[in-house]
């Protein structure tokens, strides 16, 4: 996408191409949506209102609201010969929606593409395009709470506000949104008990339509009565095949795949049965801690040859190595402690070469910014304990969008492999235990368990919180009994 101007950023001013507006309207018309009134709450140049004239012959009234008078004038010109059209120059957050909606006749279609603008963007540009404090109706989850969140998107507020206002009305909401925002709107509606039914998400290619690298979709929901809390997901706007169905569980939230969840819910655990997934080592100052084998010597990030006691130097696999199953990486990590907070002064005696190496770079190591190093022994690292030194591990990268677990044994020199802090792993007592756990995690049931819960468009879909939810003991036993493999 071309660089946004300040105005574009604050007002999310990216008009929907007429062809996409037409495709959305056609999709809605195919679903037998026959509105008497169409409302476009942030109508811009009016492309949706224009497209609607072709696809909704029963529609008698069209209403558009838009904050930008230049855009509204364009909409006026485009709709000049369409009777029953009312265009209002106004700010969504200051419009009296109770009054305006009371004048509109059902069935009502609220269609459009609200501004995709986050709190963070507004604060960078010191924009004021957000709502004032509101009094929410009982039962709804508090739009005010939303505005304080750093990842709050005003399109979310707009849609949640509309869902509230449309309660009891025979209305359809059809909005283009970031997929993550659409999911939040669905989760809010379902958790607050809003009466919505027939919820659907239709994925669309935002790169193609808006030149934007973001996961986007059409959110479709009907008000007027409550339905079951499921949402069909279509891989593309124009395609009839349902890719999966989202679900909802109180206390859990949105479920990525309802069918897979039904098949694997029994493997969910909390409390005592949770497995302790560890993160790899956090050290900062990679140029000092990370070494590479070059022509039989170890070299640090400054290109200096490093000579330290071998037991303090362990083979390292980074997230990308784990994701791509690279075994012999030629990378090593300086590991001065065996547990968090272990005194390092004794290294002077126990490992004089290591002590000298770390002392030479002491200023750099002392200047590490993260607060975790404050008040800790010099040269401290984190994510270190007995588990670090287990020769057998099962690991997964937290940076990659994949459920590939790796069985990791000792390196060719017999030393335990260590990971960076973007890798999650389980330390295992033996090769046999690691193999059984790995097989279970890669089994159909193991993969389905996580697939039911993962939204792959999230930045980091694989998290320790997600991994902990699986009752691993139960899954290993299940795989043993059923001989299920990946």
Rounded to the nearest whole angstrom, what is the least distance from the CB of residue 129 to ligand SAM in the complex? 5
Residue 424 found at the interface with ligand SAM (CB under 6 A):
no
Which alpha helices (H) appear in 91-210, and where do they start and end? 97-102, 119-124, 143-147, 154-165, 179-192, 206-210
Structure tokens, 273: 């049965």
d(CA 393, CA 363): 34
Residue 336 found at the interface with ligand SAM (CB under 6 A):
no
Q: Which is nearer to ligand SAM, 69 or 266 (CB)?
A: 69
Residue 12 found at the interface with ligand SAM (CB under 6 A):
yes
Residue 224 found at the interface with ligand SAM (CB under 6 A):
no
Rounded to the nearest whole angstrom, what is the least distance from the CB of residue 231 to ligand SAM in the complex? 22
Q: Which is nearer to ligand SAM, 218 or 333 (CB)?
A: 218
- Closest by CA to 249, choosing from 237, 261, 234, 238, is 261
Residue 147 found at the interface with ligand SAM (CB under 6 A):
no
Instruction: Indicate if the alpha-carbon torsion angle 63, 90, 117, 18 is positive or negative.
Output: positive
- DSSP track, 309-359: -GGGEEEEE-HHHHHTT-----EEEE---SSTT---TTHHHH-HHHHHHHH
- Closest by CA to 321, choosing from 417, 458, 442, is 417
**By rule CB under 6 A, what string of x and - marks binding of each residue 50-89 to ligand SAM?**
---------------xxxx--x------------------
The stretch among 43-51, 77-85, 244-252, 366-374 that binds ligand SAM (CB under 6 A) is 43-51
Give the residue closest to ligand SAM by C-beta: 44
Residue 49 found at the interface with ligand SAM (CB under 6 A):
no
468: helix, strand or coil: helix
The stretch among 44-52, 271-279, 387-395, 470-478 that binds ligand SAM (CB under 6 A) is 44-52
- Is the separation of the CB atoms in 55 and 28 below 8 Å? yes
- Is the separation of the CB atoms in 67 and 45 below 8 Å? no
Q: Which of residues 96-115 bind ligand SAM (CB under 6 A)?
A: 112-113, 115
Rounded to the nearest whole angstrom, what is the least distance from the CB of residue 216 to ligand SAM in the complex? 11
Rounded to the nearest whole angstrom, what is the least distance from the CB of residue 69 to ligand SAM in the complex? 10
**H or E element that contains 6:** helix 6-11
Of 43, 104, 182, 281, the one binding ligand SAM (CB under 6 A) is 43
Please list the residues that pair with 234 across neighbouring strands: 202, 242
Residue 245 found at the interface with ligand SAM (CB under 6 A):
no
Rounded to the nearest whole angstrom, what is the least distance from the CB of residue 155 to ligand SAM in the complex? 8
Residue 200 found at the interface with ligand SAM (CB under 6 A):
no
- Is the separation of the CB atoms in 277 and 474 below 8 Å? no
Residue 156 found at the interface with ligand SAM (CB under 6 A):
no
36: helix, strand or coil: coil
- Is the separation of the CB atoms in 195 and 167 below 8 Å? yes
Nearest 10 degrees: CA dihedral of 232, 234, 239, 240? -20
Q: Which is nearer to ligand SAM, 13 or 170 (CB)?
A: 13
Vertex 370: Cα angle to 365 and 376 (nearest 5)? 65
Of 30, 88, 91, 430, the one binding ligand SAM (CB under 6 A) is 91
Of 4, 53, 55, 93, the one binding ligand SAM (CB under 6 A) is 93
Residue 15 found at the interface with ligand SAM (CB under 6 A):
yes
Q: Which is nearer to ligand SAM, 16 or 388 (CB)?
A: 16
Q: Which is nearer to ligand SAM, 40 or 153 (CB)?
A: 40
Edge-to-edge order in the sheet of strand 253-255: 85-89, 61-66, 37-40, 108-112, 171-178, 216-223, 196-204, 231-234, 242-249, 253-255
Count Cβ atoms below 10 Å from residue 170 Cβ, excluding itself: 15
Q: Which is nearer to ligand SAM, 143 or 314 (CB)?
A: 143
Residue 14 found at the interface with ligand SAM (CB under 6 A):
yes
Residue 8 found at the interface with ligand SAM (CB under 6 A):
no
Q: Which is nearer to ligand SAM, 12 or 224 (CB)?
A: 12
DSSP letter assigned to residue 131: P
Rounded to the nearest whole angstrom, what is the least distance from the CB of residue 204 to ligand SAM in the complex? 13
Q: Which is nearer to ligand SAM, 42 or 319 (CB)?
A: 42
Instruction: Indicate if the alpha-carbon torsion angle 124, 128, 130, 134 is positive or negative.
Output: positive
Which residues form the interface with ligand SAM (CB under 6 A)?
Answer: 11-16, 40, 42-45, 47-48, 65-68, 71, 91-93, 112-113, 115, 129
């Amino acid at each position: 996408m071309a660089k946004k101007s300040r105005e574009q950023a604050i007002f999310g001013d990216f008009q929907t191409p007429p062809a996409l507006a037409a495709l959305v309207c056609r999709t809605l018309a195919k679903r037998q949506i026959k509105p008497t009134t169409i409302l476009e709450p942030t109508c811009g140049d009016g492309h949706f209102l224009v497209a609607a004239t072709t696809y909704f012959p029963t529609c008698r009234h069209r209403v558009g609201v838009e904050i930008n008078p230049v855009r509204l004038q364009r909409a006026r010109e485009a709709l000049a010969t369409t009777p029953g059209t009312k265009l209002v120059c106004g700010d969504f957050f200051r419009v009296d929606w109770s009054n305006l909606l009371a004048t509109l006749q059902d069935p009502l279609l609220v269609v459009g593409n609200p501004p995709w603008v986050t709190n963070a963007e507004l604060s960078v540009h010191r924009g004021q395009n957000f709502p004032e404090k509101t009094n929410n109706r009982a039962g709804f989850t508090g739009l005010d709470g939303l505005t304080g969140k750093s990842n709050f998107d005003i399109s979310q507020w707009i849609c949640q506000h509309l869902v509230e206002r449309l309660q009891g009305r025979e209305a359809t909401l059809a909005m283009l949104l970031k997929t993550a925002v659409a999911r939040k709107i669905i989760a809010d509606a379902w958790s607050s008990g809003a009466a919505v039914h027939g919820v659907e998400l239709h994925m669309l290619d935002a790169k193609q339509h808006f030149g934007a690298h973001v996961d986007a979709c059409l959110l479709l929901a009907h008000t007027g009565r409550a339905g079951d809390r499921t949402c069909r997901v279509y891989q593309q706007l124009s395609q009839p095949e349902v890719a999966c169905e989202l679900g909802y569980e109180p206390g859990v939230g949105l479920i990525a795949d309802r069918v897979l969840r039904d098949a694997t819910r029994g493997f969910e655990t909390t409390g005592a049965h949770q497995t302790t997934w560890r993160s790899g080592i956090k050290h900062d100052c990679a140029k000092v801690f990370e070494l590479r084998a070059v022509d039989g010597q170890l070299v640090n990030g400054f290109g200096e040859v490093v000579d330290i006691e071998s037991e303090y130097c362990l083979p390292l696999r980074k997230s990308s190595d784990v994701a791509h199953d690279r075994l012999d990486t030629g990378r090593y990590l300086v590991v001065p402690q065996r547990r968090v907070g272990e005194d390092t002064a004794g290294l002077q005696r126990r490992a004089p070469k290591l002590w000298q190496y770390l002392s030479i770079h002491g200023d750099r190591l002392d200047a590490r910014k993260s607060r975790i190093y404050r008040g800790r022994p010099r040269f401290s690292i984190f994510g270190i304990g007995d588990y670090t030194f287990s020769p057998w591990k099962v690991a997964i990268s937290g940076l990659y969008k994949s459920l590939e677990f790796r069985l990791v044994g000792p390196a060719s020199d017999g030393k335990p492999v260590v990971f960076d802090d973007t890798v999650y792993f389980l330390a295992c007592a033996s090769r046999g235990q690691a193999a059984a756990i790995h097989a279970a995690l890669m089994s159909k049931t193991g993969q389905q368990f996580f697939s039911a819960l993962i939204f792959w468009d999230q930045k980091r879909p694989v998290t320790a919180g997600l991994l902990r939810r699986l009752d691993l003991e139960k899954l290993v036993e299940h795989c043993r009994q059923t001989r299920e493999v990946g």
